[in-house]
Amino acid sequence: MDIPPLAPAIPAPLIEVLGLTKLYGEFTAVKELSFAVRPGEVIGLVGPNGAGKTTTLRCLAGIIPPSRGAVKICGFDLSQAPIEAKRRLAFFPDEPRLFEYLTVEQHLAFTARIYGVADWKARSGPLLQELEIADKADKLPGELSRGMKQKLAIACGFLHAPEVIFLDEPLTGLDPIGIRRMKNSIFQRAQKGAAILISSHLLHLLQEVCSHVLILKQGEKVIDGTLEEVRQRYSEAGAADLEEVFFRATGESEAKT
């Protein structure tokens, strides 16, 4: 009797969200949101303005507490073991948050101490080279362009080699070369096994870099799955690309006819 081959083991999710709800008084910003992201997956979080994308990201990064539900990062519950969970994640807000009085190098030294990166000097060199800001080490953020600031924030975020990465509108302010490098950087980190969640309105970007997509509307999940699954779900309605899927899923009125 032939023994059937073993199915490849499914890796445990690095991001696990169970019934996440965020309330502001009587207003529900995010409602009963559940999903999981496994190593190597890149999930795009899309939705119209006010859908709850940024609130979701801030809850997942441990910046604001959820009203209900649980978030696990690499198996650590964000409310029970926040330090262990945060040590494994990096969050990039849409506006780079930098300290105006610290130079580029001082930002890296500061971040290294916060995350306990003993060999930060060895790590920061290649990172700064990759992001093309190695010659700006002694510059203050006020002396950098918007794109350079974004790159510095990225360098700080990647310094501790996070396993989970949250990006909120990551391409804002980047030039075409910066955009390409950012995409490559996302691919590389996903290939190395990071779980990445990107919130963006740039649907063509998500279509290029994401393996999965999650569509939110008024704080509720409309659909999630691989890009192919989501496309198939709306294929009967004639949806060919993510933009079309988005319009059909959210019921917006700009769908092609």
Partner 1 sequence: MIAQALFFYQFHSIKNRLTARVRRMKEPRYLFGAVAGAAYFYWFFFRNFNHGDGPMRRAFFGGDPEMLQGVYALILLAWVLLTWIFHRTRATLAFTESEVAFLFPAPVTREQLLHFKLLRSQFAILSSSLLMAFLRFGGSHFWISWLGWWIILATLNLHILGSSFAVTMLMDRGISNARRRIISLAVIVAAGAGLAWWLRNSFPAPPLVEPGADAATIFAHYVNYAVNSGPLPYLLFPFKLLSAPFLARNAGEFIAALPGALAIMGLHYLWVMRANVAFEEASVDAARRTAERVAAIRSGNWQAANPAKKPGRSPFRLDGAGFPAMALMWKNVIAASNMITIRFWIMLAWLTVVSGFIFRSQIHSGAALALTSMIGLLLGFSVAMGPSLLRNDFRQDLPAADLLKSFPLAGWEVALGEVLAPAAILTAAQWLLLILALVCCPGQWDKHALPLGTRVGCFVAAALVLPAVNFANLIIRNTAALFVPAWFQLGKDGPRGIENTGQQLILVLGQTLALALMLIVPAIAFAVVWFSTSLFVGPLIALALGGLAALAALGGEAALGLRLMGSMFERLDLSKEQFSAE
**Which residues of the chain form contacts with partner 1 (CB under 8 A)?**
24-25, 27, 55, 58, 61-65, 82-87, 89, 91, 93, 95, 97-103, 106, 109-110, 112-121, 138-142
Confirm if 214 and 35 have CB atoms less than 8 A apart.
yes
Q: CB 114 → partner 1: shortest distance, Å?
A: 5
Q: CB 134 → partner 1: shortest distance, Å?
A: 17
Closer of 173 and 225 to partner 1 (Cβ): 173
The angle that helices 146-158 and 104-115 make with each other, rounded to 10 degrees, is: 30
Q: CB 30 → partner 1: shortest distance, Å?
A: 11
The C-alpha atoms of residue 136 and residue 223 are separated, in whole angstroms, by 43
Strand spans (E) along the chain: 15-24, 27-37, 42-46, 68-73, 76-77, 89-92, 164-168, 195-199, 212-217, 220-226
Q: CB 54 → partner 1: shortest distance, Å?
A: 9
Closer of 94 and 243 to partner 1 (Cβ): 94
Closer of 97 and 256 to partner 1 (Cβ): 97
Query: Taking the CB of residue 211, how many other CB atoms lie within 10 A of it?
Result: 16
Closer of 78 and 203 to partner 1 (Cβ): 78
Q: CB 204 → partner 1: shortest distance, Å?
A: 26
Strands 195-199 vs 164-168: parallel, antiparallel or unpaired: parallel
Closer of 97 and 180 to partner 1 (Cβ): 97
Could you tell me which of 119, 117, 155, 118 has the C-alpha nearest to residue 136? Answer: 155
